[in-house]
């Protein structure tokens, strides 16, 4: 059985600081011919032991890389690709965030906001009056509101037909000789027939009818909005 020699390390005291017997590389006791082998220095403290371990590990890693040059190059290339991929992802994330911070210019509305009690459609504001007047009075009243007696296209007539309800409204259409003309000077070219043989035109029951201009009726004003 190997002999265990106890002794205190320099600078340390107590039985807990004793060191164990030193064995040679082959696991045999350092006792030869009945004589005790030369005593080994005390074990290093924790920090010194870690330093020695790190040094040995570093040498082992370095030796491995030197003995495997091809694998070393492959690992280096893979590491470089991983770094490039991380950089691309980071730039993409920053680009997405920056796009979210760019102020977006809102699209202009289809038409400007119409005044209160007016109805907007296809960039035109319409006003259906509650008071009544002759055709000339209706024309003047619309002019005071910054508009005109309604000038309608076929598409706008379909919309106005849904607005008027059961009331009759003067329109800005008047007979000039054998033809009808809008108050803005344009000719009436719609395929919708104007019923009656009178001079001034009004809207009634989803149809265009003519009547004497002195008739008292509500009126419809229109005010086209400028394109932005």
Residue 136: inside a domain: yes
At 194 the pLDDT is 92
Based on the structure, what is the number of domains in the chain?
Answer: 3
Residue 110: inside a domain: no
Query: Using CA atoms, how far apart are residues 130 and 82, in angstroms rounded to an integer?
Result: 75
**Distances, alpha carbon 176 to alpha carbons 111, 112, 133, in Å:** 32, 33, 21
Look up the pTM and report it: 0.50
Query: Using CA atoms, how far apart are residues 58 and 68, in angstroms rounded to an integer?
Result: 15
Residue 114: inside a domain: no
What is the C-alpha R_g of the chain?
A: 51
Residue 39: pLDDT band by 50, 70, 90 thresholds?
very low
Residue 108: inside a domain: no
**Domain shared by 186 and 142, yes or no:** yes
Residue 107: inside a domain: no
**Domain shared by 86 and 134, yes or no:** no
Residue 143: inside a domain: yes
Query: Using CA atoms, how far apart are residues 219 and 142, in angstroms rounded to an integer?
Result: 8
Query: Using CA atoms, how far apart are residues 135 and 128, in angstroms rounded to an integer?
Result: 14
152 or 158, greater pLDDT = 152
**Domain shared by 172 and 215, yes or no:** yes
User: Domain range holding 71?
Assistant: 53-101
Residue 179: inside a domain: yes
**Domain shared by 87 and 152, yes or no:** no
Report DSSP state, residue 191.
S
At 159 the pLDDT is 73
119-121 sheet: strands from edge to edge:
119-121, 124-128, 220-224, 148-149
């Amino acid at each position: 059985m190997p002999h265990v020699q106890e002794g205190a390390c320099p600078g340390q005291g107590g039985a807990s600081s004793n060191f164990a017997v030193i064995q040679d590389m082959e696991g045999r006791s350092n006792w030869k011919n009945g004589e005790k082998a030369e005593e080994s220095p005390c074990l290093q403290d924790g920090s010194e032991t870690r330093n020695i371990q790190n040094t040995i590990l570093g040498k082992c890693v370095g030796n491995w890389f030197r003995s495997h040059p091809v694998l070393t190059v492959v690992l280096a290339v893979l590491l470089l690709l991983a770094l490039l991929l991380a950089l691309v992802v980071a730039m993409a994330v920053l680009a997405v965030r920056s796009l979210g911070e760019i102020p977006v210019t809102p699209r202009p509305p289809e038409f400007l906001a119409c005044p209160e009690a007016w109805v907007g459609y296809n960039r035109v504001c319409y006003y259906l009056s509650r008071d009544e007047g002759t055709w000339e009075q209706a024309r003047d009243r619309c002019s005071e509101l910054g508009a005109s007696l309604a000038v309608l296209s076929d598409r706008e007539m379909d919309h106005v037909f849904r607005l008027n309800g059961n009331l009759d409204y003067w329109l800005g259409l008047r007979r000039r000789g054998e033809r009808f003309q809008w108050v803005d000077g344009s000719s009436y070219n719609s395929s919708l027939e104007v019923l009656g043989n009178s001079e001034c035109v009004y809207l009634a029951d989803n149809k265009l009818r003519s009547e004497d201009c002195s008739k008292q009726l509500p009126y419809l004003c229109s005010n086209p909005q400028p394109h932005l």
